Amino acid sequence: MPREFASVGVVGLGTMGAGIAEVFARSGIPVVGVELNDDCIARSRGHIEHSTERALAKDKLDDAAREALLDRITYTTSLEALADVDLVVEAIPEHLDAKTDLFEQLSKITKPDVILASNTSSLSITEIGVHTPRPSKVVGLHFFNPAPVMALVEVVRTVVTEQDVVDDVVALAERIGKSPVVTGDRAGFIANALLFGYLNHAVTMYEQKYATREDLDAAMRFGCGYPMGPLALIDLIGLDTAYEILDSMYHQSRDRRHAPAPILKQMITAGLLGRKTGRGFYTYDAPDSPTVVADALTPDTSSAAANARPVRTVGVVGTGTMATGIVEVLAKAGYDVVLRARSEDKANGVIAKVRKSLDKAVGKGRMSAEDAEATIGRITPAVDFTALADADLVVEAVAEDIDVKREVFTALDAAVKPGAVLATTTSSLPVVECAAATNRPADVIGMHFFNPAQVMKLVEVVSTINTAPDVEATVIDVAAKVRKVPVRCGDRAGFIVNALLFPYLNDAVKMLEAHYAKAADIDTAMKVGCSLPMGPFELLDVVGLDVSLAIQRTLFNEFREAGFSPAPLLEHLVKAGRLGRKTGQGFWDYS
Ligand SMILES: NC(=O)c1ccc[n+]([C@@H]2O[C@H](COP(=O)([O-])OP(=O)(O)OC[C@H]3O[C@@H](n4cnc5c(N)ncnc54)[C@H](O)[C@@H]3O)[C@@H](O)[C@H]2O)c1
């Protein structure tokens, strides 16, 4: 007979515990909440009241249901009140000693067949369990933040957890509307093991002043479709909690990428814990508020456009997917575009593709036939570089081969008027190499669009050590005028997005290779637990395993970071010709 779970206890009603108590109470299960003292109880109660008020405002709850929910939660400072509950979920801070002490006490107070669960994000459930007389009844029950919203729950089994305990907890998770995934006991389980390396990497970029907090966050939102940027997410998680999770992951993995970035400790010591204290990477209008307010680090964008060089005519070099998309985007925004191809046929081929795309937009009522005609009319095909002589900006989008690009830049240097901005769309080559092929390196910059350029909002604006400030301002201004979101970064492999994304994807492959979890569970954990638009294996298959491997190799070669070494499984799949969707087989089969 499955367990009934007539009532549950939650110990620690902070960021996570309060949300967990709300989730159980909302499903009709009475909750006994235990906190340290009356002040903590008042704060927890306020937290749950606010959260349910928001649910009320969003029509996710009515008044009667909210009252009943609040009535189902009792608050106490005494663990003895947990004597009769069927399950205890521990959600106190991420310290092993505190958790083992608590589990020892709980096992003395609670019923013999109670299930003791920890919401730890990274500590060993096995280690917590052995401090009780019944480790077979101990599991991890890892909710995601905010618990009332996020559907994923990782149910963590140890080598001694009884099967019926796992089954009952899985059934309970389903009953409260969550999507459980069962995992083994490894630091970070599935989602955090993959997420925190990425988060720490973003903090390191911020600490190194490689990019601003706004640009790091915008890059991942607009380049990858993530719901939040990494620094805003750490503010939500809590810097102290993030630090402890990274620290315990590091102790298990010994992977330098998990060693908490030093700035985290400094910010924690200064009391900047994130949203819960009203200040972390960003400043909020009040503790526990999601509303960001301007502070001393907020960039002043008012004068940026004033420094830009005037741009009327833009040259595009290339005839591939990116060049075609960029031509369309520029012409649609009203720029005169000179498209330089290696032959007239190729140039006309691009214009035909743009026409087809515009016709589609007209067919769907998104554009008038006159606008489509005017857009096409703004595009001039060319074969000779001299046709670009009067361009104010030239965007190079030829093959991803440095020799080919250098040749183009040498030709542009000879043909284009002085003062023009020369940009490359390279996604992985050093921009400075293109600059070095010219006699005007200060005018050369990276303008990295994402594929499909017509759809993706992000443009990474990559300045080299030589790029002039007004060249950067010009590209930012043009990106904004074509309704993209420009972010600035330095000339390093992977810029922002690929440098943050691909090591995470590679880590997922390594996790699969280690047989820790199945591809489907890993994809689910990242989609449901972190609200990412695609799981890592789905995304790798879309990008192409060969392309992904090449990017990962570039990152490894530039940074020589051991953790960036490409996963052997990725290399094998590429060798076997399983390149993802384009070959019909990758991590998944497409038939
Ligand atoms: N923050 C996240 O995004 C997140 C997500 C999933 C899991 N977790 C895990 O959940 C746990 C709690 O993290 P949090 O972010 O909610 O921390 P938090 O600091 O917001 O809350 C911890 C709460 O526990 C209370 N507390 C401390 N010792 C206690 C004790 N002995 N008895 C009763 N209450 C006690 C504190 O007063 C505080 O309210 C950690 O193990 C963390 O790793 C956190």
Which one of 142, 201, 258, 448 is the catalytic residue?
142
Q: Which residues contact 25 (CB under 8 A, 6 or more apart)?
A: 31, 69, 70, 72, 73
What phi and psi values does residue 298 have, to the nearest 5 degrees? -65, 125
CA 581 / ligand 1 centre spacing (Å): 42
* Alpha-helical segments (H) within 142-288: 163-175, 191-207, 213-224, 230-237, 239-253, 262-269
Instruction: Provide mean pLDDT across the span 500-524.
Output: 96
pLDDT tens by residue, 110-140: 999 999 999 999 899 999 999 899 999 999 9
Which one of 22, 90, 154, 538 is the catalytic residue?
154
pLDDT tens by residue, 214-265: 999 999 999 999 999 999 999 999 999 999 999 999 999 999 999 999 999 9
Instruction: Provide mean pLDDT across the span 163-169.
Output: 97
Over 80: is that where the pLDDT of 425 sits? yes
Note if 35 is an active site residue. Answer: no
Would you say 10 and 17 are in contact if contact means Cβ atoms under 8 Å apart?
yes
- The predicted structure's pLDDT at residue 119: 97
**Number of helices followed by number of strands (H, E) in the chain:** 23, 18
* Alpha-helical segments (H) within 448-493: 469-481
- The predicted structure's pLDDT at residue 428: 87
- Between CA 234 and CA 236 the distance in angstroms is 5
Would you say 224 and 497 are in contact if contact means Cβ atoms under 8 Å apart?
yes
What pTM was computed for the model?
A: 0.89
Cα–Cα distances in angstroms (integers) from residue 451 to residues 14, 323, 427, 543, in the given order: 41, 10, 11, 10
Ligand 1 neighbourhood includes 121 CB (under 6 angstroms): yes
Over 80: is that where the pLDDT of 534 sits? yes
How many residues in total does the chain contain? Answer: 591
- The predicted structure's pLDDT at residue 306: 83
Which atom of ligand 1 has the smallest separation from the CA of 237?
A: 3
The residue type at 199: L
Note if 7 is an active site residue. Answer: no
The residue type at 228: M
pLDDT tens by residue, 35-59: 999 999 999 999 999 999 999 999 9
- Between CA 342 and CA 336 the distance in angstroms is 20
pLDDT tens by residue, 376-417: 999 999 999 999 999 999 999 999 899 999 999 999 999 999
Would you say 429 and 405 are in contact if contact means Cβ atoms under 8 Å apart?
yes
Over 90: is that where the pLDDT of 350 sits? yes
Note if 451 is an active site residue. Answer: no
Give the confidence band of 352 by pLDDT, cuts at 50, 70, 90: very high
- β-bridge partners, 117: 89, 139
- Between CA 122 and CA 474 the distance in angstroms is 46
